[in-house]
Amino acid sequence: MKRTLIILVLALSACSHSYEVFSDKYRVSFSCNISQSPFNKIQSIGYFLSVYPQVNKGSYVVKEPDGRKQEYPCTEVQNRTFMFGLAGFIMGAPYFGDGEVYAYDLGCPLCDRASARLSVSTEGVASCSKCGGSYDLNNNGICINNESRPLYRYRTTLNGSFLMIRN
Domain enclosing residue 137, as ranges: 21-166
Per the structure, the count of domains in the chain is 1
Is 86 inside any structural domain? yes
Higher-confidence residue of 44 and 16: namely: 44
For residue 2, being part of any structural domain is answered with no
Percent of the chain with pLDDT over 70: 88
Contacts of 19 (CB under 8 A, 6+ apart): 149, 150
Residue 124 included in any domain: yes
The answer to the question of residue 101 being in a domain is yes
The CATH number assigned to the domain holding 113 equals 2.102.10.10
Poorest-pLDDT segment among 19-23, 36-40, 51-55: 19-23
